[in-house]
Amino acid sequence: MALMLPWAGLVVAVVGTALLVAARWWPLRLRRRGKAVPFAAAQRFRALPRFRQLAKQQLRWLLLETISMVLAVAGIAMLIARPVEARSWASAKGNRDIMLCLDVSGSMAGVDKNVLQAFSQLAGQLEGERIGLMMFDSTGVVVFPLTDDSSYIQEQLAAAEQEIGENNTVVGTRAVDTGTSLIADGLMGCLERFDHRDQHRSRTVVLATDNQLSGEPLYSLEEAFTRARRDEVLVFGVMPVENSASATQELTRATRETGGDTMLLAETVDVTSISDAVARTQRAALAQRSRLESEEFTWPWVGLALVGLVAAATARNRRERK
């Protein structure tokens, strides 16, 4: 717990204590300066058991009233000082979301099985993180949403590899028989899969595509990557080795603008470089966004002030009735 305005609280505590002392001392001073009324049997009266009992009760109520006022002043002083509970957040394992985004258009028929095998290795190296898979051609299909169930992830990746088959056909990914490769629309669909927007989580898309557009997309590649940058999503591209140079350069430039990169996929690929790059870049991104959060911690002091004031008023009322 920290105090936002410690000096203000200290001033209130000092002034409140001074006023409390003055409230007790000033009436006594006035009483001593006033003229006393002679009472011949004063000593005898003070010796009476009933008088002593009432005097002790008065003293107890006065003591309770004073302690209660001290507690009330302390509570008010703490409220003025604005106590806050501070906490920081930063990167940590289990705080990352990775969407695997696979282009299953006809032009990717020769490499998608290798991509899924690479995804399986990548998921194994990122165990403990939330991972999801979406396939797309002219439309997108969510194979499995973000989950940290590593066994389920591996089962679904293996099933997806079997489903693709020789013709690279996945049910639900083609709006027309010929199929169209709408890369930007597929990326947009993957970006929409991220949930818990109110939480500080690192988010990454691993986009496997040859970036060969065919058809009329709803979004341009620039619009999709603008959305990724706006949402602070890192995008890593995975592309076939044998691919158009212009398509590779375009995707590489776009992914690097998000903080990611593009890698080439041969028949065998060392996914360690991808997982290391994802983890390294995400740690750096979260470290840069790491911040201190605070929440005002007032309810105990409100309670203390109220209890003190109520107890002081009760004690004063009982004391004046005696």
For residue 292, pLDDT over 80 is answered with no
Confidence of residue 255 (pLDDT cuts 50, 70, 90): very high
Q: How much is the pLDDT for 243?
A: 80
Q: How much is the pLDDT for 249?
A: 92
Give yes or no for a contact between 191 and 228, defined as CB atoms under 8 angstroms apart. Answer: yes
Region of poorest pLDDT, from 53-57, 74-78, 235-239, 262-266: 53-57
Q: Where are the domains of the chain?
A: 2-87+294-321, 96-289
Give yes or no for a contact between 181 and 221, defined as CB atoms under 8 angstroms apart. Answer: no
Q: How much is the pLDDT for 38?
A: 55
For residues 104-132, one letter each, b for 16 or more C-beta atoms within 10 angstroms of the residue's C-beta and e for the rest, the string is bbbbbeebbbbbbbbbbbbbeebeebbbb
Please give the backbone phi and psi of residue 151, each rounded to the nearest 5 degrees, phi first. -65, -45
Give yes or no for a contact between 261 and 277, defined as CB atoms under 8 angstroms apart. Answer: yes
**Encoding tokens for residue 37?**
């009324």
Which has the closest alpha carbon to 318: 69, 57, 72? 57
For residue 257, pLDDT over 50 is answered with yes
Q: What is the pTM of this model?
A: 0.57
Confidence of residue 24 (pLDDT cuts 50, 70, 90): low
**Cα(201)–Cα(69) distance, integer angstroms:** 47
Confidence of residue 82 (pLDDT cuts 50, 70, 90): confident
Q: How much is the pLDDT for 2?
A: 66
CATH topology of domain 96-289: Rossmann fold (3.40.50)
A 10 A CB-CB count for 174 gives 19
Give yes or no for a contact between 137 and 174, defined as CB atoms under 8 angstroms apart. Answer: yes
* Cross-strand pairs, 140: 136
In the chain, pLDDT over 70 holds for what percent of residues? 71
**Going by DSSP bridges, is the β-strand pair 202-208/130-136 parallel, antiparallel, or unpaired?**
unpaired
**Cα(271)–Cα(13) distance, integer angstroms:** 63
Confidence of residue 283 (pLDDT cuts 50, 70, 90): low
Confidence of residue 216 (pLDDT cuts 50, 70, 90): confident
Give 138-173 pLDDT, tens digit per residue: 788 899 999 989 899 999 998 888 877 655 566 666
**CA distances to 15, 19, 22, 75 from 25, in Å:** 15, 10, 5, 23
Locus of tokens 């991972």: 131
Average pLDDT score over the chain: 77
